Structure 1
Amino acid sequence: MPVVLFLNFPTLAQSTSTSKPNIIVFLVDDMGWQDTSVPFWTKSTDFNRRYHTPNMERLAREGIKFTNAYAMPVCTPTRVSLITGVNAAHTRVTHWTSPDQNKNTDYADATLNSVDWNINGFSPIAGVQHTFHATALPEVLRQNGYYTVHSGKAHFGSAGTPGSDPLNAGFEVNIAGSSIGHPASYSGRANYDSPVNGKPNRNAVPGLEAYHGTDTFLSDAITTEALKAIDKPVAEKKPFFLYLAHYAVHIPLTADPRFLNKYLQSGLDSTEAKYAALIEGMDKSLGDVLKYLDDKKIADNTVVLFMSDNGGLSTTPARGGKAWTHNLPLKAGKGSVYEGGIREPMLVRWPKVARAGAVADQYVIVEDFFPTILDIAGVKNAKTIQEVDGKSFLPVLKNPAFRDDQRGLVWHHPNRWIAAEGPNIHYATAFRQGDWKLVYDYRQAKLELYDLRNDIGETHDLAASNPAKVKALAALLTRQLKAWNAQWPTFKATGKPVPFPDEITL
């Protein structure tokens, strides 16, 4: 299969100007809303006090904290939406992609048939089976004078497809990125691998052979290599885009020995202590990035955007054992369209533009990163294959009090994530407008309504007492799903499609 990109916009001369800001996206995997010493609620909680993330605290002091930032319920949909600017309902990449090409990762369900989603993920090339074809963000930036570096987890597409290799998406450098969704190990001593029957694990992290047999933790290796890679554009005074996407804090819970003992001594059990150590190791990476910017004297001209790809993994029955992430007071966790599965820690530092120490309550969603980053880079009227759904949050960066209560956000997850049942972790779609949120559970043919301003934990379903609001939001959600031609499940018993939200009678 060819891996040559066919672009539909002109190649621009490479800029040597330092007026364009450098841009760093610092993406964490499976980090819950409470997994940090920075509170993203109206108050600090016991969970915030459990963790030690001083560099996130610094970023919050020096930038803007977003208290209503959202991703998708699972990883690949978030990552594809970030680099394409398109909502998961529109890309049809609604679930995580397997390293194996053409493999549907949905668990079988007794009630509903699996939908025809794009199981191979994103593709920069047209005509690849079961993929969403789009012009990727790094490609647009590269064509507009940016030096583009990927380091860490990619998970944009399945192995053997063009989207599995970040170099095909417009990155000039790819460090350790492939089709895998989590590492086999975080340990350099283990070569970031855990062999199966004497053979390398398919989730072994590629491209870090220089660190094999060393004590270098994976989070450090990808950070060190990323900073080495941007030495080149910094020396050439060329703007860079660094996408530093951590494998942390996804399983396996490999203990980071530098931080483990402090959490054991604090009274956490071994599982929770390993997780907390992974968190602090990730935060140490953030500190290394900020120090690099300071040392190179480029911090004032560099935008740092911090985000997680989905909610914390608060349910582990499929793997056995106890949960180690606690999203409370949010409901549920990874895999769910309830707040615990989609609400994320988000920070943005842009010196002289974003007011230090500010808090933004405006809700934003991951596809907004695409148009926002292009706005930051000064890229106007970029020609892309896809229609972009995201909305730039540049107005929020310039004015944290900015408010838009009319915009609607959509989370579409017509998939079964794990075998076990749980709090609406299968086959659900949600819609937010203002402080109101509608949740549609297909299997129960049930619409739920929540007032997030007064009930962030989604504990009080107001559907019965406010049918007018339910009807209005159901109409808006249905209209958007149909406009995007979102894939829609059918019942196994009858073969008929599940009713749309506006067809449900309270």
Structure 2
Amino acid sequence: MKISKSFLVILLLTCVFNCKTKTISSEKNTVSETKKPNILIIHVDDLGFHDLGINGSKIYQTPNIDALAKQSVIFNNAYANYPRCVPSRYAMMTGNYPIQNGNVPDDGFKMDGIPNDKNFVKNIKASGYQTAYFGKWHLGNEESLKDFGYDFSFAAGHAGSPISFLYPFNVAKRGNGKSKKSPIPDVDNVSKAGDYLMDVMTDNVAKYITNTDKNKPFMAMFSFYAVHQPLEAKEKDINRNKEEIKNFDFENQPEFIKEGTGRTKMRQNHPKYAAMVETMDENVGRLLQLLKDLNIDDNTIIVFSSDHGGLSNDGTKKRDLATSNYPLRAGKGWLYDGGIKVPLFVKWTNHFQPKTDDNSIVMLMDVFPTLLDITTNKSLNTNGKSFLPILNNEAEWADRTVFWHSSKARPTNTGDTKSSAIRKGNYKLINWYKEERTELYDISKDPSEMNNISEQNPELTQKLLKELNSWKSKF
């Protein structure tokens, strides 16, 4: 059969076009598959759920965080694994309940003894990530961060809180200037008179992000020392908040109510704390703007969270309390939601559709399993699990069962006593096991945990208590 020249030319051009199109398409798919997202984790110390404008605060102005939340998947049923710093952070970093040597100590955790196949940071790093940690670590010395998988760290080590937020940061501003606290490394060497710790920290996070190898993704965790005590802020911000608080009508809301061995603060009326929250928000805004300026915001996953509830409670020793978690009950140190419910939202532009999830029960121990799932599609089979299906609108975890155990209570400092808790779906049971006292709440109807329904529901109470004790027996 005779084939015309014109037909051969058309056939040749068609093949060339199709091959070229296929090559371009393949290149695009390859780029999309290999262009892993950057990750920025912003973790705030002692920030209560209601310390943000988006969560109802009428005192603290947090426009940058509020704007970030509106672009994110917001989890309104997110919990810390413990109502104080060290175990909560241990749980987040390891993806497990904070259980060590058969108990949940309130302090003394170390990040050694975690095998590589259970280490989220090392697994993410092995997939090609630059890793860095800034700020409050409180889980060992500087060397422990490298051992755990972080290439770089700044101002991170034993310190659980600053000696001072005002330069010089490792000199107390009261008494003789000495302190028993661990000093924060690095910061005084890059600071000058008049500097404020949050600003210095943010400067160094920004410097790191700006200078990273642009051919490799980064995972940076910025763990604010704020808004933990000492309550120290910039004078102009304190004065502004004094005026705003003075003119705010708290109506008939009492300033304190009795709780446990002490008091619960019921008003957000501390001008220094308000100033600290607002400075923290400004620094979050600086980092968000930097990502835009570097044109990497669309391909950067941002996780915002807090380690537990705000400091609203004291015990037999009266304290300068920072904030109120109202309408949640109690605060830091307690297993009521005021102590363990935290803000948590996740943003990844063009990947996670912004929404508010009021039903799914998630925990801080789920954060790194989720990040590992996103970056490597792997699971390390820990207590925490990836909530990527929720982010992708493929699942909801409304019926999840989760646990807490607090055996190192602080009746002197935060007014709490030894307790354990279980949440199963809408129901939450708290057991003060030394006092043989149990309370049951339907969180969906009673988020303030004021209506104990254990007597009206004896079978459910016993069922949940049995499940809680069964979990504890496996420590």
Could you say which TM-score interval applies, normalised by the shorter chain?
0.7 to 0.9
With 405-414 and 78-87 compared, the bigger mean Cα shift is at 405-414
User: Residue 314 of structure 1 corresponds to which residue in structure 2?
Assistant: 312
Alignment of 1:447-458 (within 5 A): 447-458=438-449
Letter in 1 for 2:292: D
Separation of aligned partners in 1, 2:349 and 2:93? 24
Report what 1:497 is aligned to: none
Residue 135 of structure 2 aligns with an amino acid whose one-letter code is: G
Q: Counterpart amino acid of 2:73?
A: I
> Which residue is 1:136 aligned to?
119
Quickly say closer, same or farther: Cα 1:76–1:392, change in 2 above 3 A: same
CA distance in structure 2 between the partners assigned to 1:134 and 1:265 by the alignment: 54
Task: Give runs of aligned pairs for residues 282-293 of structure 1, distance below 5 A.
Answer: 282-293=280-291
> Which of residues 297, 300, 303 in structure 2 aligns to 1:299?
297
CA contact (8 A) 2:317 2:412 kept: no
2:112 maps to 1:124: yes
Q: Secondary structure at the match of 1:50?
A: coil
Which residue of the partner structure matches residue 254 of structure 1? 232
Change over 3 Å in CA distance of 1:464–1:90 after alignment to 2: farther
Deviation at 1:323, TM superposition (A): 2.5
Matched with 2:338 is: 340
Residue 404 (structure 2) aligned to one of 402, 411, 432: 411
Measured in 2, the distance between the counterparts of 1:172 and 1:289 equals: 21
User: Which residue of 201, 205, 217 maps to 2:184?
Assistant: 205
User: How many angstroms does 1:317 deviate by?
Assistant: 4.5
Runs of 5+ in structure 2 lacking a partner? 1-30, 248-267
Change (3 A) 1:280 1:448: same
How far the C-alpha of 1:144 sits from its partner, in A, is 1.7
Distance in 2 of aligned mates of 1:93 and 1:181: 21
Q: Distance in 1 between the 2:205 and 2:122 partners?
A: 18
SS in 2 for 1:165: helix
Q: In the superposition, relative to structure 1, how do residues 199 and 57 fare at CA in structure 2: closer, same or farther (>3 Å)?
A: closer
Deviation digits for residues 187-228 of structure 1, max 9, x if unmatched? 12x234318756565333211133433322111111111121
Asked whether the equivalents of residues 256 and 277 of structure 1 are also in contact (C-alpha less than 8 Å), the reply is: yes
| Aligned partners of 2:104 and 2:405 also within 8 Å | yes
Distance 2:190 2:208 in 1: 16
**Are positions 1:28 and 2:38 aligned together?**
no
Which amino acid letter does the alignment assign opposite residue 122 of structure 1?
K
**Structure number having the greater helix percentage:** 2
| Worse overlay, 249-258 or 427-436 | 249-258
User: How many Å separate the matches in 2 of 1:263 and 1:478?
Assistant: 46
* Alpha-carbon distance between aligned partners in 1 of 2:385 and 2:379, rounded to the nearest angstrom: 14
Counterpart of 1:243 (choices 195, 206, 221) is: 221
- CA displacement, residues 416-450 of structure 1 (integer Å, 9 cap, x when unaligned): 2242573xx22100000100001010121122110
Distance 1:421 1:78, change over 3 A: closer
Structure 1: segments with no counterpart, 5+ residues? 1-14, 98-119, 127-131, 486-506
Change (3 A) 1:349 1:468: same
Total equivalences in the alignment = 423
Task: Give the AA of the match of 2:156.
Answer: G
CA distance in 1, matches of 2:37, 2:347: 12
- Secondary structure of the equivalent of 2:93? helix
Q: CA deviation at 1:79?
A: 0.7
Once structures 1 and 2 are overlaid, which stretch shifts more, 190-199 or 332-341?
A: 190-199
Question: Aligned pair 1:469/2:454, yes or no?
Answer: no
| Paired residues of 1:165 and 1:179 also in contact (CA < 8 A) | no
| Residues in 1 aligned to 2:355 and 2:170: alpha-carbon distance in whole angstroms | 38
Normalised by the length of structure 2, the TM-score is 0.83
TM-score normalized by the length of structure 1: 0.78
Give 2:189's aligned amino acid.
A
The secondary structure found in structure 2 opposite 1:151 is strand
Measured on the aligned residues, the alpha-carbon RMSD in Å equals: 2.6
1:73-107 Cα deviation digits (max 9, x unpaired): 1011111111100112467673443xxxxxxxxxx
Change in Cα spacing, 1:216 to 1:136, as seen in structure 2 (3 Å) is farther
Quick one: percent identity of the two aligned structures?
31
For residues 319 and 194 of structure 1, do their structure 2 counterparts lie closer, same or farther at Cα, with a shift above 3 Å needed?
farther
Larger radius of gyration: 2
Describe the shift of the 1:21–1:248 C-alpha distance in structure 2 as closer, same or farther (beyond 3 A).
Answer: same
Aligned mate of 2:152, from 162, 169, 173: 173
